[in-house]
């Protein structure tokens, strides 16, 4: 029996790979993570080969038994990798053939490493995508729970990092929550597009064997086979799309973390993070550092870099398969695991933090954050908004000069700027009233944020049910391949 690696060069080539060539081309350190999926793909493939009568039933049974032994070793972390083989696919096939004899060489009938690796990687990323969406939803729920407890907590809303209008803490947390909801949706959209099975596309042109691609697709839990064999082995848009989903989520995480870092400073004093999710200083005993948030913010660069790696790698590749595509795995594997870890830890940070509502109210009450409400009040008195804007601007100037907040000015002082201002102005100037009166759909009033909370929870529940069903389908496919 010719060893598999030797068989790959003994026909066309007169010599095997130089050690340096093997070391440079080896992908085993990365694609060893695909070992479980590689065996599952092979189990589905050999089942189909047997069903179609492409290989003898006794050989198929021998291959299946051998693969199940390898699978158990992989699951128990006992499978020994041979680094003289350049990837996980040849490792599995070589091990199988060395154990069961020549029948093992029939496993590769009707497929190529090109469609094999595309199948393995889709299965790996399919699981990662569901896990990522689940982790994003967990973080989203932690934000929603803060919102549920803080519908009446007033804080300054910012534009340009300047106090703009009073908002509720609930509204602010929900703003982040809905960003993450879209991130989770993007992961699930990407899942839908990648849920097609490459197995059977072979090297690029399909195969002459009477294979049944729908059978292998169903066995592996895919919705259907891919439509075009050349496209199947050449394109990695499903990888690039996931890299984008991860990068966008990382950007949203970084924005949240930036605020938490600022809010935890003495200058803001809006939040105190739990001791177990902060660190101290090596020389300054008074310090409590928001290192988790800072690290998450810092990890954004690598996740965005993975997206740039994929776009750059694939921008000029001709059809069909090119070895460049070996480099698609590490950056996206790492970015997906980073996103999952970041969402999991930030969910804990958010859910255990203490929000200082008194400090938020104190800060909100300073200055002229209710100026827009005074302008809106004048509009209800028949003043065109642009004119009202100018009137309130003059009042704000006077407020700054005198050191009085607008709501602290007397009615006579306010009438100096416009005679239409009446006693009822004091019903709208308190910052809490400014927040409570913004009851438009999507607004910051408690009645509005209650609706938003219900919508957010509904989105999480619907998505999590889809995730649960998809995971169950895949799990049942694995059980069927292992047991039958």
Q: For every one of its 484 residues, what pLDDT tens digit does the chain have, with 9 covering 90 and above?
A: 445 555 554 566 666 778 888 889 888 999 999 999 999 999 999 999 999 999 999 999 999 999 999 999 999 999 999 998 889 999 999 999 999 999 999 999 999 999 999 999 999 999 999 999 999 999 999 999 999 999 999 999 999 999 999 999 999 999 999 999 999 999 999 999 999 999 999 999 999 999 999 999 999 999 999 999 999 999 999 999 999 999 999 999 999 999 999 999 999 999 999 999 988 878 887 888 999 999 999 999 999 999 999 999 999 999 999 999 999 999 999 999 999 999 999 999 999 999 999 999 999 998 789 999 999 999 999 999 999 999 999 999 999 999 888 998 999 999 999 999 999 999 999 999 999 999 999 999 999 999 999 999 999 999 999 999 999 999 999 999 999 9
The per-residue pLDDT for 9 is 47
User: How high is the pLDDT of residue 93?
Assistant: 96
The four Cα atoms 338, 339, 344, 348 give a dihedral, to 10 degrees, of 100
For residue 282, give both structure tokens.
Answer: 């090596």
- How far CA 201 is from CA of 9, 55, 90, in Å, comes to 23, 18, 19
Whether the bond into 136 is cis, omega within 30 of 0 = no
Q: What is the pLDDT of residue 14?
A: 65
Which CATH code is given to the segment(s) 4-109?
1.10.275.10
Q: What residue spans define the domains of the chain? A: 4-109, 114-148+167-363+451-483, 371-429
Same fold, 4-109 and 371-429: no
What tokens were used for 379?
Answer: 């509009």
Q: For residue 279, what pLDDT is reported?
A: 87
Q: What is the pLDDT of residue 191?
A: 98
Query: Which pTM does this prediction carry?
Result: 0.93
CATH number for the domain running over 371-429: 1.10.40.30
Q: Are strands 224-225 and 196-197 parallel, antiparallel or unpaired?
A: parallel
Nearest CA-CA partner of 329 in 203, 242, 248: 242
Annotated catalytic residues are 160, 281
Angle at CA of residue 408, ends 405 and 413, nearest 5°? 100
- Determine the Cα–Cα distance for residues 417 and 282; give it in Å rounded to an integer: 56
Q: What is the pLDDT of residue 332?
A: 97
283 CB contacts (<8 Å, ≥6 apart)? Answer: none
CATH number of the 114-148+167-363+451-483 domain: 1.20.200.10
């Amino acid at each position: 029996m010719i060893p598999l690696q030797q068989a790959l060069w003994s026909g066309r080539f007169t010599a095997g790979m130089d050690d340096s060539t093997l070391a440079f081309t080896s992908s085993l350190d990365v694609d060893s993570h695909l070992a479980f999926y590689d065996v599952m793909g092979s189990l589905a493939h050999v089942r189909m080969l047997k069903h179609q009568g492409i290989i003898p039933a006794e050989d198929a049974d021998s291959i299946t038994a051998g693969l199940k032994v390898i699978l158990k070793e992989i699951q128990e972390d006992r499978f020994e990798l041979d680094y003289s083989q350049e990837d996980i696919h040849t490792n599995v096939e070589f091990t199988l053939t060395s154990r069961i004899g020549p029948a093992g060489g029939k496993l590769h009938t009707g497929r190529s490493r090109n469609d094999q690796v595309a199948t393995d990687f889709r299965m790996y990323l399919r699981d990662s995508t569901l896990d990522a969406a689940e982790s994003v939803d967990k973080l989203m729920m932690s934000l929603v729970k803060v919102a549920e407890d803080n519908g009446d907590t007033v804080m300054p809303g910012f534009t340009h990092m300047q106090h703009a209008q009073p908002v509720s803490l609930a509204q602010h947390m929900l703003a982040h929550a809905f960003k993450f909801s879209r991130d989770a949706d993007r992961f699930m959209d990407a899942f839908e597009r990648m849920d097609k099975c490459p197995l059977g596309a072979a090297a690029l042109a399909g195969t002459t064997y009477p294979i049944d691609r729908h059978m292998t697709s169903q066995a592996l839990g895919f919705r259907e086979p891919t439509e075009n064999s050349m496209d199947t082995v050449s394109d990695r848009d499903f990888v690039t799309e996931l890299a984008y989903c991860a990068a966008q989520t990382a950007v949203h995480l970084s924005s949240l973390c930036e605020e938490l870092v600022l809010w935890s400073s003495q200058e803001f004093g809006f939040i105190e993070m739990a001791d177990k999710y902060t660190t101290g200083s090596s020389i300054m005993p008074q310090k409590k550092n928001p290192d988790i948030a800072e690290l998450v913010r810092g990890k954004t660069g690598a996740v965005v870099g993975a997206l740039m790696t994929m776009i750059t790698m694939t921008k000029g590749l001709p059809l069909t398969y090119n070895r460049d595509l070996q480099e698609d795995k590490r950056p996206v594997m790492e970015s997906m695991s980073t996103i999952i870890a970041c969402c999991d830890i930030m969910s804990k940070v958010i859910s255990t933090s203490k929000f200082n509502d008194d400090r938020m109210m104190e800060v909100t009450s300073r200055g002229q954050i209710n100026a827009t409400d005074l302008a809106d009040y004048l509009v209800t008195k028949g003043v065109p908004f642009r004119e009202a804007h100018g009137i309130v601007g003059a009042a704000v100037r006077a407020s700054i000069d005198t050191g009085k907040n607008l709501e602290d000015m007397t009615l006579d002082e306010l009438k100096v700027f416009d005679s239409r201002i009446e006693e009822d102005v004091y019903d709208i100037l308190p910052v809490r009233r400014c927040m409570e009166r913004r009851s438009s759909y999507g607004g910051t009033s408690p009645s509005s944020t209650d609706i938003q909370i219900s919508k957010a929870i509904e989105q999480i529940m619907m998505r999590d049910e889809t995730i649960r069903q998809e995971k169950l389908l895949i799990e049942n496919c694995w059980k069927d391949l292992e047991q039958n």
